[in-house]
């Protein structure tokens, strides 16, 4: 029973260590990724400081840095909590091993005392020869052998427990050091976050002094968003109308076949059921866009990958989120997200589908892809490498990102629609 209990606790501890190692590795990987993105933003921000005026680019970079810094602090909190749990577990293990070691030493000391009183070979022989019969003598001899073996095992157990205890103490000290370093890093990040929020306010104040310039920049951004939306909605509307046309044509063809069959039966003098009226086309856009088995499966597959879709660029930071935002009272309603990336970065499809449109909007390209009843749109492309009607797979190259000549910003605009309704892409993309 004791053996089974020991095995159970050993396996439990092993699973706990494995889970800790996995979670710790994932958190460290995420922290390294955040550090890399923050370093990239720091370099970009330093470049903008040569401009005497506060610009939207500076503000966007600071907003992105603050967002990443907050996420890094959350990651550090998770790591600290994880290490705290590990420290508690290791502390409990150390106390348990220390208790076991003390008990083993106590038992071993008792055996040493017993062995001391019976250390001479004469006493052992007398113990055996004093037996009443051969069977008892054999049992006493076996007992002495077992006692000697037990002493050996106890000595080995003491050594093994002592070694395990030393290992756990070393591991505990190492974990405490790691936790201490993370706490220092966390405090440093909080200080950096405070400085960046102060810088953000300074940039906001600077922007307020150049309200006219700011309004012009924001007006241009809003106009570009409106142009993109108009083209995207046209592309989606065309797909819905085409699906409706096909559904109606198929309904008419089915009605014609039924009428022809009825006439043939009448000529042959056979009774036939009355011809049914042509069925109505699908009532909803969702039904129209999922009218074929191929598109229905594509919709289900796309929906099944929610939260796991790859990003439209390999590396990037969100600078403008989905929804309504205000900058110095200027409203922007973003139906997607803006992702800052490196110059000349490749834009790729987030899922398999068919290219429904490729448009040139004020010198940059917009690509719309259909995934059943879902659509994804990729705007601000300098060049494109796909054409309308082309089938694409996940991560198919669509083109390269354009860089704004006036602001120096390189970012792709990404939107996601279910039918004609825009949805927040954040919840569909995989965690970076």
From CA 360, how far away is CA 367, in angstroms rounded?
9
User: What pLDDT, on the 0 to 100 scale, is given for residue 97?
Assistant: 67
Do both 205 and 315 map to the same domain?
Answer: no
For 214-258, write each residue's pLDDT tens digit: 666 666 777 777 777 888 888 888 888 887 887 777 767 777 777
Contact 407, 56 (CB under 8 A): yes
User: Does some domain include residue 202?
Assistant: yes
User: Does some domain include residue 220?
Assistant: no
User: What pLDDT, on the 0 to 100 scale, is given for residue 387?
Assistant: 94
Sign, CA torsion 303/308/309/312: positive
Split at pLDDT 50, 70, 90, the class of 147 is low
Split at pLDDT 50, 70, 90, the class of 336 is very high
Do both 203 and 311 map to the same domain?
Answer: no
Contact 349, 369 (CB under 8 A): yes
User: What pLDDT, on the 0 to 100 scale, is given for residue 115?
Assistant: 59
Do both 197 and 317 map to the same domain?
Answer: no
With a CB cutoff of 8 Å and minimum separation 6, the contacts of 140 are 127, 128, 131
For 9-42, write each residue's pLDDT tens digit: 444 444 444 444 447 777 777 777 777 776 776 7
Nearest to 402 by CA among 386, 382, 384: 382
User: Does some domain include residue 268?
Assistant: no
Name the domain boundary from 209, 232, 257. 209
Domain count, the chain: 2
Whether the pLDDT of residue 339 is over 60: the answer is yes
Q: Which residue in this structure is represented by tokens 């309308």?
A: 388
Residue 367 sits in which domain range? 305-427
For 364-386, write each residue's pLDDT tens digit: 999 999 999 999 999 999 999 99
For 78-112, write each residue's pLDDT tens digit: 877 877 777 777 777 767 767 766 776 776 566 66
For 274-322, write each residue's pLDDT tens digit: 544 444 544 588 888 887 888 899 999 999 999 999 999 998 888 888 8
Do both 32 and 146 map to the same domain?
Answer: yes
Do both 187 and 55 map to the same domain?
Answer: yes
Do both 47 and 196 map to the same domain?
Answer: yes
User: What pLDDT, on the 0 to 100 scale, is given for residue 277?
Assistant: 47
Split at pLDDT 50, 70, 90, the class of 152 is low
User: Does some domain include residue 184?
Assistant: yes
User: Does some domain include residue 97?
Assistant: yes
For 381-405, write each residue's pLDDT tens digit: 999 999 999 999 999 999 999 987 7
User: Does some domain include residue 277?
Assistant: no
Among 133-142, 198-207, 422-431, which stretch is predicted with the lowest mean pLDDT? 133-142
User: What pLDDT, on the 0 to 100 scale, is given for residue 1?
Assistant: 42
pTM for this model (two decimals): 0.57
From CA 414, how far away is CA 319, in angstroms rounded?
12
User: What pLDDT, on the 0 to 100 scale, is given for residue 353?
Assistant: 95
Do both 327 and 200 map to the same domain?
Answer: no
CATH number at residue 33: 1.10.287
CATH number at residue 373: 2.70.70.10
Name the domain boundary from 174, 209, 244. 209
CA 397 from centre of chain: 22
User: Does some domain include residue 300?
Assistant: no
Do both 159 and 33 map to the same domain?
Answer: yes
Split at pLDDT 50, 70, 90, the class of 7 is very low
């Amino acid at each position: 029973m004791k053996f089974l209990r020991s095995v159970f606790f050993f396996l439990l501890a092993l699973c706990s260590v494995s889970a800790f190692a996995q979670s710790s590795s994932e958190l460290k990987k995420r922290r390294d990724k955040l550090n890399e993105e923050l370093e990239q933003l720091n370099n970009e921000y330093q470049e903008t400081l040569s401009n005497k005026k506060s610009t939207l680019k500076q503000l966007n970079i600071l907003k992105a840095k603050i967002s990443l810094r907050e996420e890094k602090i959350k990651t550090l909190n998770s790591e600290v909590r994880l290490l705290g749990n590990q420290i508690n577990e290791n502390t409990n293990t150390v106390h348990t091993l220390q208790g076991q070691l003390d008990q083993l030493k106590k038992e071993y000391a008792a055996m040493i005392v017993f062995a001391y009183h019976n250390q001479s070979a004469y006493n052992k022989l007398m113990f055996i020869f004093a037996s009443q019969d051969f069977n008892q003598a054999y049992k006493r001899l076996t007992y002495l052998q077992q006692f000697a073996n037990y002493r050996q095992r106890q000595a080995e157990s003491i050594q093994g427990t002592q070694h395990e205890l030393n290992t756990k103490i070393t591991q505990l000290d190492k974990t405490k050091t790691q936790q201490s370093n993370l706490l220092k890093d966390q405090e440093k990040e909080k200080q950096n976050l405070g400085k960046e929020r102060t810088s953000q306010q300074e940039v906001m104040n600077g922007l307020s002094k150049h309200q006219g310039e700011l309004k012009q920049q924001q007006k241009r951004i809003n106009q570009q968003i409106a142009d993109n939306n108009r083209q995207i909605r046209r592309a989606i509307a065309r797909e819905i109308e085409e699906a409706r046309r096909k559904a109606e044509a198929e309904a008419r063809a089915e009605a014609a076949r039924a009428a022809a069959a009825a006439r043939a039966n009448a000529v042959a003098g056979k009774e036939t059921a009355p011809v049914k009226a042509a069925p109505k086309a699908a009532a909803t856009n969702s039904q129209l866009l999922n009218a074929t088995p191929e598109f229905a499966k594509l919709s289900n597959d796309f929906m099944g990958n929610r939260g796991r879709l790859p990003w439209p660029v390999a590396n990037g930071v969100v600078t403008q989120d989905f929804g309504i935002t205000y900058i110095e009272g200027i409203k922007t309603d973003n139906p997607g997200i803006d992702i800052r990336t490196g110059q000349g970065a490749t834009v790729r499809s987030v899922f398999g589908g068919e290219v429904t449109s490729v448009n040139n909007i004020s010198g940059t390209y917009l690509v719309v892809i259909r995934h059943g009843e879902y659509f994804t749109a990729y705007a601000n492309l300098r060049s494109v490498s796909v054409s309308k009607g082309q089938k694409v797979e996940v991560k198919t190259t669509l083109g390269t990102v354009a860089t704004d000549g006036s602001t120096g910003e390189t970012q792709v605009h990404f939107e996601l629609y279910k039918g004609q309704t825009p949805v927040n892409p954040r919840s569909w993309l995989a965690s970076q």
